[in-house]
């Protein structure tokens, strides 16, 4: 509504006089000798600057830096995604939201102490009056917000999947659309992080210990399901295939990020060998490790996303064989998804038509246990 009318013009300073006027107004407020209120017709310098910063600076900065924390978006923007990398964007994002907290507190306090009746009339009745016409609507709004706040947490706890499905309907198509963007941002060796944080529950089985003791000579990657040619690949087999190296940013859902060079075989080459059937829509990756709550870790990906240029099965990290901490002998790198989607210690890949009968049917271990989305490019 602000931009559908000419009201936005009231927020834009047109002379440098706004700065000394804002300072003078701030001193008057601080001395509790409030200036004459005339916001019905024009804002004073302090009000105008506050609204201008909120609408034209803080809001777009918050939106932009929020989106830059997305792997699909940041890895698509080349140099911009590198300069405004996730941690820089996250810090700016925090500062901009600190401004919003300050603005809300200051604005709310000023509504009460500079004339509650007149201000609520302006906001809730659209009239300039000293009466009480807007105040009942203000109280009603407070009650509705309070009731909604009181009911929200119990409702969301009882109906968590319903809330998740509603969110998927609202924004899932945006997340799905962003998967189609080709991740193109590759960095240089100077960008590689000195420390790359490991996480995830480590494999804890005799099977894995035997593989590790034999330096993975007996490791076999089983690829099957809805494919024309099921295969088992040894690590040596994978290393004879065309190798791809890429320096990319890893985005963890916990908020941290890191840059590393990955080397491995393209998933598109694996698909060309096994030839998924026309009805296959998803690739399911199974780990040799369990999840944090017990049960085998797995995750599901749209099959088309496995053909992305930077989607690989990595067996090297920073020029060295992949370490156990980071997923040896094999881990997925899918550069337009968050880190938990990139299964480590891969045991098998199955191509399926649907994942409703896998685990709790949500598309992955974290999706089953923690209400994550099975598509996480944002």
Give the pLDDT confidence of 102-112 residue by residue, as tens digits: 999 999 998 89
Rounded to an integer, the average pLDDT of 167-176 is 87
Contacts of 161 (CB under 8 A, 6+ apart): 371
> Which residues are bridge partners to 45 per DSSP?
none
Give the pLDDT confidence score for residue 77 in this predicted structure: 81
Contacts of 263 (CB under 8 A, 6+ apart): 243, 244, 245, 314, 315, 316, 317, 319
Give the pLDDT confidence score for residue 6 in this predicted structure: 84
Q: Measuring CA to CA, how many Å separate 131 from each of 108, 121, 128, 278?
A: 20, 8, 9, 70
**What are the tens digits of pLDDT across the range 263-299?**
999 999 999 999 999 999 999 999 999 999 999 999 9
Domain locations in the chain as residue ranges: 7-176, 186-370
Rounded to an integer, the average pLDDT of 70-80 is 82
Q: What is the mean pLDDT of the chain?
A: 92
pLDDT at 183 over 80: no
State whether residue 296 is helix, strand or coil: strand
319's torsion region: left (phi>0), alpha (psi -120 to 50) or beta? left
Give the pLDDT band (50/70/90) at residue 151: very high
Structure tokens at 145: 């917000």
Cβ contact 261:175 at 8 Å: no
Cβ contact 29:114 at 8 Å: no
* For the chain, counts of helices (H) and of strands (E): 13, 10
Q: Report DSSP letters for 37-70, one per residue.
A: P-TTT---HHHHHHHHIIIIIIHHHHHHHHHTTS
What CATH number matches the domain at 186-370, 3.90.420.10, 3.40.50.10140, 3.40.50.300, 3.20.20.140?
3.90.420.10
Give the pLDDT confidence score for residue 7 in this predicted structure: 84
Rounded to an integer, the average pLDDT of 351-358 is 96
Burial class (CB in 10 A: 0-12, 13-18, 19+), 104: exposed
Residue 333, number of CB atoms within 10 A of its CB? 23
> Which residues are bridge partners to 364 per DSSP?
299
Higher pLDDT, 133 or 78: 133
- Cα dihedral 106/112/115/119 (nearest 10): 80
Read off the pTM. Answer: 0.85
Measured CA to CA, the distance from residue 163 to residue 139 in angstroms comes to 28
DSSP annotation of 34 reads P
> Which residues are bridge partners to 350 per DSSP?
224, 284
* Alpha-helical regions (H) of the chain: 18-30, 45-52, 59-67, 71-74, 79-83, 86-113, 116-124, 135-158, 160-178, 206-213, 235-240, 267-274, 365-370
- Mean pLDDT is highest, among 119-123, 168-172, 217-221, for 217-221
pLDDT at 29 over 80: yes
Long-range contacts of 294-299 (CB under 8 A, 24+ apart): 295/359, 295/365, 296/365, 297/200, 297/201, 297/343, 297/365, 298/343, 298/358, 298/359, 298/364, 298/365, 299/340, 299/341, 299/343, 299/363, 299/364, 299/365, 299/366, 299/367, 299/374
Range name among 86-90, 176-180, 303-307 with the lowest pLDDT average: 176-180
pLDDT at 78 over 80: no
């Amino acid at each position: 509504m602000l931009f559908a009318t000419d009201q936005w013009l009231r927020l834009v300073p047109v002379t440098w006089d706004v700065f000394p006027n804002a300072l003078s107004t701030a001193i008057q407020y601080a001395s509790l000798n409030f200036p004459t209120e005339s916001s019905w017709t024009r804002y004073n310098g302090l009000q105008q600057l506050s609204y201008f910063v909120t609408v034209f600076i803080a809001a777009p900065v918050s939106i932009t830096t929020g989106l830059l924390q997305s792997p699909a978006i940041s890895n698509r923007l080349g140099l911009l995604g590198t300069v405004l990398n996730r941690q820089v964007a996250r810090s700016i994002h925090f500062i901009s939201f600190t401004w919003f907290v300050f603005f809300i507190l200051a604005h709310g306090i000023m509504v009460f102490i500079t004339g509650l009746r007149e201000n609520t009339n302006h906001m809730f009745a659209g009239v300039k009056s000293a009466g009480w016409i807007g105040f009942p609507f203000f109280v009603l709004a407070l009650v509705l917000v309070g009731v909604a706040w009181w009911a929200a947490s119990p409702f969301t706890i009882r109906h968590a999947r319903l809330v998740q499905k509603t969110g998927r309907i609202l924004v899932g198509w945006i997340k799905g659309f962003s998967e189609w963007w080709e991740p193109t941002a590759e960095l240089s060796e100077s960008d590689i992080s000195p420390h790359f944080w490991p996480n995830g529950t480590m494999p804890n089985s005799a099977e894995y210990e035997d593989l590790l003791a034999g330096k993975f000579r007996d490791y076999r990657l089983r690829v099957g399901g809805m494919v024309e040619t099921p295969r088992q690949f040894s690590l040596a087999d994978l290393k004879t295939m065309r190798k791809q190296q890429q320096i990319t940013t890893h985005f963890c859902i916990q908020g941290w990020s890191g840059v590393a060079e990955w080397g491995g075989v393209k998933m598109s080459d694996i698909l060309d060998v096994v030839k998924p059937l026309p009805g296959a829509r998803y690739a399911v990756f199974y780990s040799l490790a369990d999840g944090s709550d017990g049960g085998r870790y797995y995750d599901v990906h749209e099959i088309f996303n496995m053909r992305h240029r930077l989607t690989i099965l990595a067996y090297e990290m920073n020029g060295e064989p992949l370490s156990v901490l980071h997923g040896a002998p094999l881990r997925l790198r899918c550069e337009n998804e968050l880190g938990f989607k990139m299964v480590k210690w891969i045991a098998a890949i199955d191509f399926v038509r649907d994942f409703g009968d896998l685990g709790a049917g949500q598309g992955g271990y974290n999706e089953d246990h923690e209400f994550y989305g099975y598509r996480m490019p944002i």
